[in-house]
Amino acid sequence: MTSKQRAYLKSLAMTMDPIFQIGKSSLTPENTRAISEALEARELVKISVLQNCADDPHEIAQIVAERTRSQVVQVIGKKIVLYREGKDQKKKIVLPL
């Protein structure tokens, strides 16, 4: 992913609200499955790590990205933005070259 593409995805994510929250139980298989399904439907998702989660948001972002085969766009504070390119017919986001 180029820096121009990353900047474009960050600009899209700025207006989004987090659709998942990771709390005290940290990352569960159910969370990972739901995030993967959301990435398939939306391509770009924002996740909020709650205050009661003891894990580091950067570590959580890397683990989720590996498990869902997505890319970490950014981690700011306790917010994580992930991107996974959709299938050809279902593409919603067209990245700049």
* Whether the predicted model's global pTM rises above the 0.75 cut: yes
Domain locations along the chain:
3-85
89-97, Cβ contacts within 8 angstroms, sequence gap of 24 or more: 90/40, 91/43, 92/42, 92/43, 93/9, 93/12, 93/43, 93/44, 95/1, 95/5, 95/8, 95/9, 96/4, 96/5, 96/8, 97/4
Query: Which of 5-9, 30-34, 92-96 is least confident?
Result: 92-96
pLDDT digits (tens, 9 = 90+) for 13-70: 999 999 999 988 888 889 899 999 999 888 899 999 999 988 899 999 999 999 999 9
Superfamily of domain 3-85: YhbY-like (3.30.110.60)
